[in-house]
Amino acid sequence: MNDAWNTFSHTHRSFDTSETVPQSLRNTLWDQAQSSTDLWQPIFLEDADLIRWIYDQSTIPVIDSYKLPNYIDRKNSQLLAPLLIVLPMIYSSEKSNQLHYETGRVYSSLALTAIQQGWQTGFCICFENNTVGNRLKELGIMRQDVHFGSLPFLSIGHHMPTQPWGWAEDIGIDLKGPLKKIKESYITMT
């Protein structure tokens, strides 16, 4: 199996935020994200201050003990990346599932394009989406008629080479787990 798909399976954290995604890759991704602008608004974020502010809106509730002993408070460091992409949808409740399905397909296309050019990706849906959406609308970045729905941010960058890919810098813990808790029993082959 091509290494790209192994990389794709990981949610990388603690990206090197001193980097910038080159314009050529950014343009390629932007063109791909334009494929259905009647369904979504492509938003690409590279402003480091804004990205850190979004990261600050991703505090995991203290009651959540996922993977962590002692209920450690934390944020989703996969959001601290040189480039964040999200495709908020031109919302229609009747087409909500179709929209989520189509955006899922495009997220894979974007992520694998970046990976095949040597970059790494992460995904994060655990952020205060109303707060973030309102802020992006106030800033004129996000249209008033679009909606995050159940979409994550796609982050693109290189994780710090001195750390494992699942390293969460804010708490100093490697959050990578097994690829999937459930093995391949959900796939039947005949």
Partner 1 sequence: MTLATDLQRVIHLSPARQNQICFRAEIKQQPGSVAVTLKPTMDFFDQGRTVFNDNDALYSSMVFHTGMTVGSIEQWCLAHGLVYERQDSINLSRRSSDNLGSWFASQRDAMIGHMVGWIEQQRSTNDLFKSYAYDVGKCHRDFTLFSGAVYNDLSNGTTTHVAATANMYWSATGEPVSRRPQETSIHNELKRWLTERSQVFHPQQTAELLALYDLFLNIIEHGARPELVNFSHNNNDYIRITVYE
Q: Which residues bind partner 1 (CB under 8 A)?
A: 1-2, 4-6, 8-11, 66, 93-98, 100-109, 111-112, 116, 123, 125-126, 149-151, 177-182, 184, 186-190
Exposed (0-12), middle (13-18) or buried (19+): which is 17, by Cβ within 10 Å?
Answer: middle
Q: Which two tokens stand for residue 136?
A: 């992006």
Residues 6+ apart with CB under 8 A from 24: none
Q: How far is the CB of 61 from partner 1 (least distance, A)?
A: 9
Q: How far is the CB of 114 from partner 1 (least distance, A)?
A: 12
Nearer to partner 1 by C-beta: 48 or 62?
A: 62
Q: Both ends of the chain: CA-CA distance in Å?
A: 21
Nearer to partner 1 by C-beta: 69 or 140?
A: 69
Nearer to partner 1 by C-beta: 11 or 48?
A: 11
Nearer to partner 1 by C-beta: 48 or 101?
A: 101
d(C-alpha 51, C-alpha 172), whole Å: 20
